[in-house]
Structure 1
Amino acid sequence: MARVVCLHGVGQQFSGERELHGSWFPALTDGLTRAEAPALAADDVTCAFYGDLFRPRGRTLAARDAPLDAGDVGAGFETELLLALWAEAARTDRAVVSPDARTLARAPRSVQRALNALDNSRFFAGLAPRALIHDLKQVRAYLCDPAVREAVQRRVAAAVTDDTRVLVGHSLGSVVAYEALCAHPEWPVRSLVTLGSPLGIRTLVFERLRTGEGAGPGRWPGRVAHWTNISDEGDAVAPTKDLRPLFGERVVNHLVHNGARAHDATRYLNTPEAGRAVSDGCHLA
């Protein structure tokens, strides 16, 4: 059974567990090689998949169907997350016009301006506005809809076995992994590896974390002995690169360079930092 369980982020609704394994496992293998760590077999690694929970059901097209646009970005959480991404992208990318205080008043026009600005970003290159809007809605669904959250967590629980020693969470998957470990201190998982994590977005993510009865955000996740957090300076989804102020001094944080694809899961996985963290976790007693 798998010693490493990988958890994906948003935008995977058209993928699947085998397809993800086909790209993630080779990247992780390269990371292990860069770290001069022992190789893992293909069946040592599995991808817990829940992207299909966000895939719209098939239907008959209506005459006036149109793609998502700025008007489909929900007020509240979705708009606030979009504006936070804009602010972080502008901080790290000169091609992105910086928002001002007036823009961040969350008026309808600011949503369109944010989408226009992010269209010029290296980080969001190639991501159509409708895809970005879908991603915003997936994050909101997980953090704000208890039924979606429970369904995702059931998929993770089904993938973890007595042999599992490492959880690797990319993007929203890092939030899923953290909450799963808090909910299951009985699991034998000894190492958490978070890649491009939004866990440090205080109001929108951190303060919404579900960590168990009587425990607030920032609780140490389960029986984990080691937590390694890896981020790229230009990764707008992970604006907080150092998670220690929120989760404690035991979190080990690394900055890596992923080039133009700062948030790409495979570019994180093939780093020596990721390879070393996964290997160390697999060999913990």
Structure 2
Amino acid sequence: MARVVVVHGIGQEYLGRRSLRDPIAAALADGVALAVEAGDVSGPAPEPSAVDVAFYGDVFRAPGTKGEPPAPRSAADLTDPYEQALLEAWAAGVAAEPAGPGSVPTKAPTPRTLQRAMNMLLRSPCLPGPVAERFLLGVLRQVRRYFTDDAVRARAAAAVGARIGPETTVLVGHSLGSVVAYETLCDHPEWPVRTLVTLGSPLGMPSLVFDRLRPAPAAGRGHWPGGLERWTNLADRHDVVASVKELARLFGPRHPGPLPAGSPAAAGAHRPALRDVPVDNGWKVHDLLRHLTARETGTAIGEGLVAR
């Protein structure tokens, strides 16, 4: 089993674990190598064999003509309230307008307002290049299905569990994959994972994501996964998917007070904490590979690899 497991984001249903692993492993090694060269961390960059991918994209691939109906052909055809709210929340981020508490519109959106929101997103730097409107509509559906379909959620979690082994100490989650990684880690405090790295994460988005997490937040604070010792959250400032860039105020450390004497974390060099780090991904603000090649990401992963 690998020392580092990466959980991909949405829109990967036509790929697979092996087709994703090689470019992800190479990009991750490049990022750690930059951090090593800069003196941020010690030790060599991980070999490709030390990196694996937890692939869950196939849960969204329709089996031929069966399964869910095809995604709408245009934003004006959206009828699901969750998908409508998510589209408008992302568009509000592009317009640099506050999404407001809950990011859910107070009035029913009209086909015209939904299409306007879609057009704003299609012109934003958040997307990985020219994309079809129907692709983005499919992305909305994938996020909605994860949060409303227990079978989809369970299969995604199982994909992560299948790649975690006794040597896995670092878990990396990108986009929706950060939600999958976080929730699965919360369910398995017995895992050896001690470092979580989230990239372009929507975990802090109110109502649509944060308030739907499992376990549910309490008094406005998210659960700290048992066994976790360090968590670094990285986001480009233009990334509308990561609408809340700073997660430290939402997810407290496991021990808010002094650490108990003799605890594993107390014996280490630091106390459990969440660190928010900005990253510049150029015009591909949400791209996984650009996140991984960043020195800041390499530092976060490298710290997890060298920690005892």
**2:39 matched residue in structure 1:** none
1:84-99, aligned counterparts within 5 Å?
84-91=89-96
1:150 to 154, 171, 183: 154
**Structure-2 residue corresponding to 1:114:** 117
Matched, 1:30 2:30: yes
Correspondence for 2:215 among 211, 217, 231: 211
The answer to whether the aligner puts 1:231 opposite 2:235 as a matched pair is: yes
Q: Which amino acid aligns with 1:74?
A: T
Counterpart residue type for residue 231 of structure 1: A
The one-letter amino acid of 1:85's match is W
Which of these residues, 57, 64, 81, is aligned with residue 58 of structure 1? 64
CA distance in 1, matches of 2:55, 2:65: 23
Matched, 1:280 2:287: no
Q: Do the aligned partners of 1:182 and 1:212 also contact (CA within 8 Å) in 2? A: no
| Matched length | 273
Query: Are 1:131 and 2:141 matched, yes or no?
Result: no
Structure 1 position 105, deviation (Å): 4.7
**Structure 1 residue 66: deviation in Å?**
9.5
**Contact 1:83 1:104 survives alignment (8 Å):** no
Q: Which runs of 5+ in 2 are unaligned?
A: 37-41, 98-103, 254-272
Q: Relative to 1, partners in 2 of residues 1:214 and 1:243: Cα closer, same or farther, differing over 3 Å?
A: closer
Are 1:104 and 1:110, in contact at CA under 8 Å, matched by a contact in 2? Answer: no
8 Å contact 1:207–1:217 — kept in the other structure? no
State the identity as a percent.
48
How far did 1:20 drift? 1.0
**What is residue 19 of structure 1 aligned with on the other side?**
19
* Cα deviation 1:233-272 (Å, max 9, x = unaligned): 0111001111111112621011011011000000000011
> Residues 277 and 114 (structure 1 numbering): CA distance in 2 closer, same or farther, change over 3 Å?
same
- Between 118-127 and 192-201, the greater mean CA deviation after superposition: 118-127
Listed as ranges, the matches of 1:36-51 within 5 Å are: 36=36, 37=42, 38-51=44-57
Calculate the TM-score normalised by the size of structure 1: 0.89
Q: Distance in 2 between matches of 1:145 and 1:201?
A: 19
Give the Cα separation in 2 of the matches to 1:157 and 1:192: 15
Taking a change above 3 Å as real, the CA distance of residues 214 and 252 of structure 1, as seen in their structure-2 partners, is closer
Provide TM-score, normalisation by structure 2: 0.83
Query: Counterpart in 1 of 2:205?
Result: 201
* Aligned pair partner of 2:84 in 79, 86, 95: 79
- Structure 1 residue aligned with 2:196: 192
Q: Is the 8 A contact 1:182 1:220 kept in 2?
A: yes
Shift of 1:202: 1.2
Cα root mean square deviation, aligned: 2.4
Distance of 1:74 and 1:123 partners within structure 2:
24
Partners of 1:104 and 1:272 lie apart in 2 by: 43
Alignment equivalent of 2:73, drawn from 60, 68, 71 = 68
Worse-matched range after superposition: 160-169 or 67-76: 67-76
> Contact between 1:141 and 1:148, CA under 8 Å: does it hold in 2?
yes
Counterpart residue identity of residue 148, structure 2: C
Q: Is the 8 A contact 1:183 1:212 kept in 2?
A: no
Write the deviation string for residues 154-211 of structure 1: whole angstroms up to 9, x where unpaired: 1111111111101000000000010011100010100000000000101100000012
